[in-house]
Amino acid sequence: MNRLLRHYPTVLFAAGAALLLPAAEPAKPEPAKAATETVGPTVILPTVTVQERRVKQIDNEIKKVEKQIAREKKKLKSTDLDKSLNSDKVANAAALFGGNSASHMVAVAASRVNLLESERNLLERLKFPRTEEDQALIEKELENLRTTRRNLDDAAKQR
C-alpha cells in the first residue's frame, strides 16, 4: 500500500500531461508508386483448394489400415495347435484339398503386413500430393498394392 501512494503523484502527472498534449496526426499515406511498377511478366500460380473432407476421409482409411495391420501382426506367430494340425508334412499330403501349412500362413501374414504398411505410407503421402500427376501415381500404386494383397491367399493366382 505504501508503494502505491509513493507513485501516485507521478501517475497523476503523466495522465494529466497526456490529456493536455495535442493528439498526434495520423501519417499520410504516400502514393503507391512502387506497387504499380513490375519487374517482369506477371506469373499466375495454380489455385489450390484445400478440402478438409478429403483429408478426413484419408485419415479414416489410415485408421482402417492400422487396424488391419494390428490384426495381421497377431497372425505372425502361429499357435502350437495350428503347428500340430497344419505341419509341413500334413500340409504337403493335404495339398490336394487346398490346405496350407502353418509356416506358409505365417509367411503370407508377414507379406500382408508389409503391403499394409506400404499402403499406410502411400495414404500419408496422398494427404498432401505435390502435383496432380503425383496424386494419380499414388492412387495407381495404392490400387496395385490392394490387388496384390487380395491375391495373396488365392493359390490359383499364385501358380
For the residues of the chain, what is the DSSP string, one character each?
-HHHHHHHHHHHHHHHHHHHSPPPPPPPPPP-HHHH--SS---PPPP----HHHHHHHHHHHHHHHHHHHHHHHTTS--HHHHHHT-HHHHHHGGGGT---HHHHHHHHHHHHHHHHHHHHHHHHHHS-SSHHHHHHHHHHHHHHHHHHHTTS-HHHH-
In a domain, 33, yes or no: no
In a domain, 129, yes or no: yes
Distances, alpha carbon 1 to alpha carbons 13, 53, 122, in Å: 20, 59, 66
In a domain, 136, yes or no: yes
In a domain, 75, yes or no: yes
In a domain, 98, yes or no: yes
Does 58 score more than 70 pLDDT? Answer: yes
Most trustworthy range by pLDDT among 3-12, 22-31, 75-84, 110-119: 110-119
Containing structural domain, residue 71 = 52-158
Mean pLDDT across 54-79: 89
Helices 52-74 and 102-127 pack at an angle, to 10 degrees, of: 160
Give the predicted TM-score (pTM) of the model.
0.56
pLDDT in tens, 72-99: 998 888 877 777 767 776 666 665 565 6
How many domains does the chain fold into?
1
In a domain, 13, yes or no: no
